């Protein structure tokens, strides 16, 4: 309708996924480097999650379009299969012949033979499953069994699971713990911040052959705030703006038009896009957006055609300089200097909040655990194994002589650790860290439950406890606000699973572990090994 009016070559804000509109920022390239180690030659599973509309399907299709000829890839969309139906869908996608009706054993053998043939010909096999949150636990377990076929150094089938945040929650179920342990690369896609939204709009307008300055800075900031940085919603709002301009016969997109379009589009959207109410104010720190992550898995395995990647990167709009990716290990003298320059605990805690995508209030930066804070801060003594079990970035206490410093640990990669130290990202040997680390660490998590809950109590927090326990235990969700015998049984089952004292009382330790397992949009501690 408005394409000719604005002299566009095509509609710039279509919500139909298109690899042509792959938006790749400098930070996304850094994210790719972080996740290259996640799948590598040995890994079997990778996980890409994000809210509805963040562009996960666009990313997957762009990834498949850029694979080299040494990779056979299959793409399964929106699966609601039984275990047999999943294997049949895999066979259909890869054109694997099988008799009908076929048993699980027959389908598995057909797929195994296909994987062995590909391996013998030097061909990699990648399976991408979109909307994987719809897969039942037993189907996901069947998928894990398919990846058991391996050589001494790598899996013959690599699987990329793509889904909404509830997929992360499903993978925390006890019956899926083996699959969760196989996931060597995880990435949760967060929305665009204000600056990225402006670049995103500019990029799409320019690619469509139009004037990239149609939306001024004030308008793009308003769009970012109203859409919460969700690319699909940004597309809908910008498309509505262009339609209004066309209908009014004007040439400029006024702020009134932008505000009207936002109101028209957002009034029909789910409350999931409402910003969190918190003393910690959401800020655009480390808001790693969706688009680069699709490339990460195939790059990790060396499957992308390099000239295609270069072409995609060359199309991007230049962005402001950001901290450079890790390129070298820090030498001991430099490390000591950095530790001495990082003597303020509150600075390191503030960096930890930034990793979560928040700006810490002053009281939060001291880990004071104020009642009104959205986050809880926990101080512990332990080792790296304890931190791996938590699975979240932490603040470490480091000692050099009489000097105490603090660093954020956000990655464990083989025999290396990755830190935020003295306002930069560094990588050092584990042995170097252990020489400096006192064993003290702090981590934060979002809390909803603040009091001990036990039999006979009632209220909204009892209902939340019931919902969280049902989620991690894979049991039917109850909306009851009563702490009854059924809920006590769930608490006991959870405590037994977590190797705690079993008393049926949801005390501070039980609640902390439960909330750690049910975090929403939490940044994962990156953990990979040389060989899985």
Asked if pLDDT for residue 86 goes beyond 60, the answer is yes
Asked if residue 401 and residue 482 are part of one domain, the reply reads no
Q: How confident is the model at residue 315 (pLDDT cuts 50, 70, 90)?
A: very low
Give the CA distances from residue 526 to residues 115, 168, 395, 513, in Å, rounded to whole numbers and listed in that order: 29, 15, 15, 20
Domain identity same for 208 and 173: no
Residue 65 belongs to a domain = yes
Phi, psi for 408 (deg, rounded to 5): -90, 120
Kindly state the tokens that stand for 327: 């390129």
The reply to whether 127 falls in a domain is yes
The answer to whether residue 113 is domain-embedded is yes
The residue assigned the tokens 């640990």 is 409
Whether 95 has a pLDDT exceeding 90, the answer reads yes
State yes or no: pLDDT of 259 exceeds 90. yes
Q: Which positions ≥6 away from 201 have C-beta within 8 Å?
A: 215, 220, 223, 234, 238
Q: How confident is the model at residue 529 (pLDDT cuts 50, 70, 90)?
A: low
Give a yes or no: residue 323 inside a domain: no
| Helix spans in 160-254 (H) | 166-170, 177-182, 194-207, 217-227, 231-248
Same domain, 186 and 50: yes
CA distance linking residue 295 with residue 171, whole number of Å? 23
User: Once rounded to an integer, what is the mean pLDDT over residues 51-62?
Assistant: 72
Does residue 69 register a pLDDT over 70? yes
Residue 122: phi and psi, rounded to 5, are 75, 25
Confidence band for 294, pLDDT divided at 50, 70 and 90: very low
Task: With a cut of 90, say whether residue 63 has pLDDT above it.
Answer: no
Q: Taking 60 as the threshold, does the pLDDT of residue 302 lie above it? A: no
Statement to judge: residues 357 and 442 lie in one domain: yes
Q: Which of 406, 421, 446 is the last residue of a domain?
A: 446
Average the pLDDT over 501-506 and give the result: 91
- Does 337 fall in a domain? yes
pLDDT tens-place string over residues 13-56: 988 767 677 776 555 554 444 444 544 556 678 888 877 887 77
Q: Would 455 be classed as within a structural domain?
A: no
Q: What is the number of alpha carbons within 13 Å of residue 41 lying toward its C-beta?
A: 7
pLDDT at res. 221: 93
Which comes out higher in pLDDT, residue 478 or 140? 140
Higher pLDDT, 25 or 283: 25
Both 371 and 430 in one domain: the answer is yes
Residue 355 pLDDT > 70:
yes
Is 376 part of any domain?
A: yes
Domain boundary among 165, 190, 215: 190
Count CA within 13 A, CB hemisphere, residue 175.
12
Q: What is the pLDDT of residues 382-436, one digit of tens each?
A: 899 889 888 889 999 999 888 899 999 998 877 889 899 888 888 898 988 998 9
pLDDT in tens, 240-252: 999 999 999 998 9
Residue 448 pLDDT greater than 60, yes or no: yes
Helix (H) or strand (E) holding 46: strand 45-50
Top pLDDT among 323 and 110 is at: 110
> 47 and 186: one domain?
yes
Same domain, 404 and 504: no
Mean per-residue pLDDT, 363-382: 73
Least confident of 15-24, 138-147, 348-357: 15-24
The label of the residue with tokens 């006192």 reads 438
State the CATH number of the domain containing residue 113.
3.40.50.300
Q: Name residues whose C-beta falls within 8 Å of residue 105's C-beta, 6 or more positions apart in sequence.
A: none
At residue 308, the pLDDT reads 39
- H or E element in which residue 376 lies: strand 375-381
- Are residues 169 and 42 located together in one domain of the fold? yes
Boundary-marking domain end, from 274, 290, 314: 274
Structure confidence at residue 59 as a pLDDT band (50, 70, 90): low
124-129, strands of its sheet edge to edge: 71-76, 124-129, 158-163, 45-50, 183-189
Say which CATH number the domain at 403 has.
3.90.70.10
Question: What's the total number of domains in the chain?
Answer: 4
Residue 464 structural domain: 460-517
Same domain, 157 and 257: no
In the structure encoding, which two tokens stand for residue 128, read together? 């991408």
Asked if 166 and 71 sit in the same domain, the reply is yes
Give φ, ψ of 113 to 5 degrees. Answer: -65, -40
**In angstroms, how far apart are the furthest CA atoms of the chain?**
73
Q: Is residue 367 part of a domain?
A: yes
| d(C-alpha 344, C-alpha 350), whole Å | 10
pLDDT average, residue stretch 278-297: 39
pLDDT band at 303 (very low <50, low <70, confident <90, very high): low
- 42 and 180 fall within a common domain: yes
- Cα separation of 374 and 446, whole Å? 6
Same domain, 413 and 483: no
- Per the DSSP assignment, residues forming a β-bridge with 441 are 380, 396
User: Chain-wide mean pLDDT for the chain?
Assistant: 79
């Amino acid at each position: 309708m408005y394409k000719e009016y604005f002299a566009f070559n095509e509609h710039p804000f279509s919500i139909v996924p298109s690899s042509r509109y792959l938006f790749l920022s400098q930070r996304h390239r850094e994210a790719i480097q972080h996740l290259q180690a996640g799948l590598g030659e040995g890994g079997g599973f990778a996980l890409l999650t994000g809210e509805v509309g963040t562009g996960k399907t666009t990313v997957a299709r762009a990834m498949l379009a850029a694979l080299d000829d040494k990779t056979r890839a299959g793409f399964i969309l929106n699966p609601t299969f039984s275990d047999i139906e999943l294997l049949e869908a895999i066979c259909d996608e890869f054109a694997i012949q099988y008799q009908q009706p076929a048993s699980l054993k027959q389908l598995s053998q057909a797929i195994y033979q296909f994987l062995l043939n590909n391996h013998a010909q030097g061909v990699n096999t990648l399976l991408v499953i979109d909307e994987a949150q719809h897969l039942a636990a037993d189907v996901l377990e069947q998928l894990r069994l398919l990846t058991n076929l391996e050589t001494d150094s790598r899996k013959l089938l690599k699987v990329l699971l793509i889904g909404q945040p509830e997929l992360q929650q499903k993978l925390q179920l006890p019956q899926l713990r083996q699959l969760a342990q196989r996931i060597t690369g995880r990435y949760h896609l967060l929305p665009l911040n204000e600056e990225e939204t402006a670049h995103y709009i500019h990029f799409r307008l320019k690619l469509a052959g139009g004037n990239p300055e149609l939306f001024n800075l004030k308008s793009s900031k308003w769009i970012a705030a109203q859409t919460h940085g969700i690319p699909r919603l940004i597309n809908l709002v910008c498309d509505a703006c262009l339609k209004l301009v066309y209908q009014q016969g004007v040439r400029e997109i006024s702020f009134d038009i932008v505000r009207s379009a936002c109101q028209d589009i957002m009034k029909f959207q789910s409350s999931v896009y409402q910003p969190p109410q918190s003393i910690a104010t959401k800020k655009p720190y480390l808001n790693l957006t969706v688009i680069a992550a699709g490339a990460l898995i195939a790059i990790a395995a060396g499957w992308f055609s390099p000239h295609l990647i270069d072409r995609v990167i060359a199309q991007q709009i230049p962005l402001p300089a950001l901290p450079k990716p890790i390129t070298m290990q820090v030498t001991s003298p430099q490390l000591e200097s950095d530790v001495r320059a990082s003597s303020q605990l509150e600075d390191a805690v503030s960096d930890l909040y930034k990793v979560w995508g928040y700006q810490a209030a002053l009281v939060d930066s001291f880990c004071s655990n104020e009642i009104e804070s959205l986050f809880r801060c926990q101080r512990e003594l332990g080792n790296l194994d304890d931190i791996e079990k938590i699975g979240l970035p932490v603040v470490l206490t480091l000692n050099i002589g009489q000097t105490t410093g603090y660093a954020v640990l956000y990655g464990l990669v083989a025999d290396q650790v990755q830190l935020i130290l003295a306002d930069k990202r560094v990588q050092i040997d584990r042995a170097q860290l252990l020489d400096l680390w006192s064993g003290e660490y702090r981590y934060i998590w979002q809390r909803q439950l603040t009091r001990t809950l036990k039999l006979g109590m009632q209220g909204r927090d009892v209902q939340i406890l019931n919902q969280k326990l049902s989620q991690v235990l894979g049991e039917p969700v109850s909306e009851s606000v009563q702490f009854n015998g059924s809920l006590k049984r769930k608490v006991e089952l959870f405590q037994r699973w977590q190797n705690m004292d079993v008393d049926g009382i949801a005390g501070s330790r039980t609640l902390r572990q439960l909330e750690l397992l049910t975090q929403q949009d939490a940044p994962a501690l990156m953990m990979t090994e040389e060989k899985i």
